[in-house]
């Protein structure tokens, strides 16, 4: 052993009895049994060891320090009379000859009990993250993260990929989220941007002649937090392949990710490669989401035609989607809670009916649907005990609302949610364009650097026809794991002529493309290879492997939901002299 110890606190065993050792760590607890008799639990990175106090001098030494002080204990190892089978070191204890305080904890009261820190308020945990990380349960997530990243590197390198780092200070470009800007001291009024992703750099590497690239890449986006997304920065397994097709990328990631889920995952069952390919439109129709949780066995069905003319206003002329659960035995209060939760999550109302023991529709909107019973029975397979929950509106809204209904019913009604597995699938054939919710204009749906299916001819055939443009699919794909988007990628648009035409459809001309993406456009004019790639999110992957519900549990020093680092006090004000140096003046409020 190196450093100031002979053994770690997780290392000693019964075979070490009689040895003189030195262990170091944090004083987790002192349990006094008598005036000069007690037990100290010493904890380090590797585990805990019991130190038995049997003399007045040793009791005085440990009673004079607060818990979480760091100690060095030198003494003899002996067999414990009362063994603890739950601990690796539970058969031994150390009888100290010398106890030295290495670092004092000057606080009599800790902000939380270390081993129960996960029960504390999140902001308190983040402010004292250095204490939170002393909790072995919290530390395990970070250790697992290190192991997974090392495994990803090994697997990617084994497949012939080169790990290449790309710049952190770069140019701002329209990639879908807000940039973090960095003022340029030597160029007044100009700014660098932190990269939202290494997207352009990795495509330039393909153009430069590198065949297979990857990196564990930091990405920076000024986005709001969610349970599965941290604000500020995140990491992804960024990868790209030259002269590659969509299937080349998908099969590569399947070969890399399946072993990682099997080796490190909380659940033993993992989808086998090749994963299911579900076209985007099919996913929306069957699951109401482009991130379907395939652990749920329920699917959405369309009953728009069957319910027309029923007299229920929200159904008339609308798209109506239904989710059916058979052998339903929940009370009205349970149903009301379901409908309320659907409305909170979607902003849309849902409605329902049940089938009684005589096969009649009852409850909810049954009075409007009685005449439609036979048609609904045929389409939905209704029988006594069936429960139907419905969503109506414009197609997209009805689909998404039904998707939430499917998820809530699947998770809440017993027998429809097979949780103990990793269910992976590829969502493919995303639309190239969509109508923006805010602008009302044609916009790129997913990634503007993607190759449209059908290439240039597809764009020429649809030019000037919005409906035809909306029908064009892109060579884009997402990996979905247990209802979470876990990777996104595409076959890239490497042809300058197709790129310009694709951007023309959203109102940007050739000069705009040159101005916004000068390096990439210029590089592509020198002969670019067809290329494709993707980027699984490392933070989200670790969250899934550990079974944590918040992504902040798997990040060493995360920000809170308001993008604040409570431990370091960031963001913070800076001196006027610092602002003057970078030519920035603050406006008075």
pLDDT of residue 1: 52
Sheet holding 531-536, edge to edge: 162-163, 212-221, 232-242, 531-536, 484-491, 476-481, 424-428, 276-279
* Residue spans of beta strands (DSSP E) within 282-432: 300-302, 319-325, 350-355, 361-362, 387-393, 421-422, 424-428
Instruction: Tell me if 28 sits within 8 A of 67, measured CB to CB.
Output: yes
Structure tokens, 535: 């980027």
What would the pLDDT profile of 75-96 be if each residue is shown by its tens digit?
Answer: 999 999 999 999 999 999 999 9
pLDDT single digits (tens) 270-325: 999 999 999 999 999 999 999 999 999 999 999 999 999 999 999 999 999 999 99
**Residue 175 clears pLDDT 90, i.e. is over it:** no
**pLDDT band of 142, cuts 50, 70, 90:** very high
Strands (E), 243-341: 269-270, 276-279, 300-302, 319-325
Q: Domain ranges in the chain?
A: 14-103, 296-417, 431-473+495-528
H runs (alpha helix) in 75-198: 122-127, 129-132, 136-158
323-336: per-residue pLDDT in tens?
Answer: 999 999 999 999 99
Contact predicate 303/321, CB 8 Å? yes
Whether 174 shows a pLDDT value over 60: the answer reads yes
pLDDT in tens, 373-390: 999 999 999 999 999 999
Condensed to tens digits (0 to 9), the pLDDT of residues 217-267 reads: 999 999 887 777 788 899 999 999 999 999 999 999 999 999 999 999 999
Each residue's pLDDT tens digit, 206-231: 999 999 999 999 999 998 877 777 88
Partner residues linked to 450 by β-bridges: 492
Residue 2 has what pLDDT? 59
426 or 176: which leads in pLDDT: 426
pLDDT band at 554 (very low <50, low <70, confident <90, very high): very high
Question: Is the pLDDT at 107 greater than 70, yes or no?
Answer: yes
Q: CA-CA distance, 79 to 96, in Å (whole number)? A: 14
Provide the pLDDT for residue 176. 66
Q: Taking the chain, what is the end-to-end CA distance rounded to the nearest angstrom?
A: 59
Please compute, for residue 170, the number of CA atoms within 13 A of its CA located in the half-sphere on the CB side.
21
Q: What is the mean pLDDT of the chain?
A: 94
Contacts of 64 (CB under 8 A, 6+ apart): none
CATH annotation of 14-103: 2.40.50.140
Instruction: Identify the weakest region by mean pLDDT among 132-136, 402-406, 572-576.
Output: 572-576
| Residue 500 to residue 519: CA distance in whole angstroms | 14
C-alpha separations of 428 from 298, 397, 444, 495 in Å: 21, 21, 16, 22
- Gap between the Cα atoms of 559 and 234, Å rounded: 11
Distance CA 49, CA 44 (A): 9
Give one DSSP letter per residue of 388-399, joined into a string: EEEEEESHHHHH
Q: What is the pLDDT of residues 182-213, one digit of tens each?
A: 999 999 999 999 999 999 999 999 999 999 99
> Which tokens belong to 477?
């794909």
Q: What is the CATH number that goes with domain 296-417?
A: 3.30.1360.30
The pLDDT assigned to 35 comes to 82
Q: In terms of Cα–Cα distance, which of 224, 225, 215 is closest to 195?
A: 215
| Strand 269-270 to 421-422 pairing | parallel
């Amino acid at each position: 052993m190196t450093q100031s110890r002979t053994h770690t606190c997780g290392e000693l065993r019964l075979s070490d009895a009689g040895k003189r050792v030195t262990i170091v760590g944090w004083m987790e607890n002192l349990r006094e049994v008598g005036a000069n008799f007690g037990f100290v639990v010493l904890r380090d990175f590797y585990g805990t060891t019991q130190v038995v106090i049997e003399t007045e001098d040793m009791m005085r030494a440990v009673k004079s320090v607060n818990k979480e002080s760091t100690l060095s204990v030198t003494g003899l190892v002996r067999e414990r009379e009362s063994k603890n089978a739950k601990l690796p070191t539970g058969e031994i204890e150390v009888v100290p000859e010398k106890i030295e305080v290495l670092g004092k904890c000057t606080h009599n009261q800790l902000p939380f009990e270390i081993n129960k820190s996960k029960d504390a308020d999140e902001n308190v945990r983040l402010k004292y993250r250095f204490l939170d990380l002393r909790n072995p349960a919290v530390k395990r997530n970070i250790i697992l993260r290190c192991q997974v990243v090392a495994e990803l590197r090994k697997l990617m390198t084994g497949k012939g990929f080169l790990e290449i780092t790309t710049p952190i200070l770069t140019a701002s470009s329209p990639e879908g989220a807000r940039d973090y800007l960095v003022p340029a001291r030597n160029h007044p009024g100009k700014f660098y941007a932190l990269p939202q992703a290494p997207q352009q750099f990795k495509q330039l590497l393909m153009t430069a002649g590198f065949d297979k690239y990857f990196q564990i890449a930091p990405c920076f986006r000024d986005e709001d937090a969610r349970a599965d997304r941290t604000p500020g920065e995140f990491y992804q397994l960024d990868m790209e392949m030259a002269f590659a097709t969509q299937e080349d990328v998908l099969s590569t990631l399947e070969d890399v990710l399946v072993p990682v889920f099997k080796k490190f995952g909380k659940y033993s069952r993992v989808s086998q490669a090749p994963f299911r390919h579900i076209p985007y439109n099919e996913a929306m129709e069957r699951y109401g989401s482009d991130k379907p949780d395939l652990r749920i066995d329920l699917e959405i069905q369309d009953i728009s035609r069957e319910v027309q003319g029923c007299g229920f206003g929200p159904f008339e002329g609308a798209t109506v989607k239904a989710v059916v659960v058979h052998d339903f035995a929940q009370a009205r209060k349970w149903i009301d809670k379901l409908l309320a939760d659907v409305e909170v999550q979607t902003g849309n109302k849902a409605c329902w009916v049940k089938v009684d023991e005589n096969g009649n529709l009852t409850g909810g909107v049954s009075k409007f649907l009685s005449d439609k019973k036979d048609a609904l029975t045929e389409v939905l397979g209704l029988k006594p005990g069936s429960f139907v929950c419905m969503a109506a509106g414009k197609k997209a809204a009805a689909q998404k609302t039904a998707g939430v209904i499917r998820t809530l019913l699947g998770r809440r009604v017993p027998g429809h949610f097979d949780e103990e597995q990793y269910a992976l699938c590829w969502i493919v054939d995303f639309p190239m364009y969509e109508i923006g919710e805010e602008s009302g204009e044609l916009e790129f749906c997913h990634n503007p650097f993607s190759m449209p299916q059908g290439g240039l001819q597809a764009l020429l055939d649809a030019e000037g026809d919005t409906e035809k443009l909306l029908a064009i699919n892109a060579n884009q794909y997402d990996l979905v794991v247990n209802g979470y988007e876990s990777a996104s990628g595409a076959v890239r648009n490497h042809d300058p002529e197709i790129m310009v035409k694709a951007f023309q459809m959203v109102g940007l001309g050739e000069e705009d493309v040159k101005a916004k993406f000068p390096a990439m456009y210029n590089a592509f004019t020198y002969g670019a290879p067809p290329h494709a790639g993707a980027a699984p999110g490392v933070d989200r992957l670790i969250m899934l492997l550990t079974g944590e519900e918040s992504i902040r549990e798997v990040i060493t020093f995360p920000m809170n939901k308001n993008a604040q680092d409570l431990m370091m006090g960031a963001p913070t004000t800076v001196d006027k002299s610092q602002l003057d140096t970078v030519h920035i003046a603050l406006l008075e409020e």
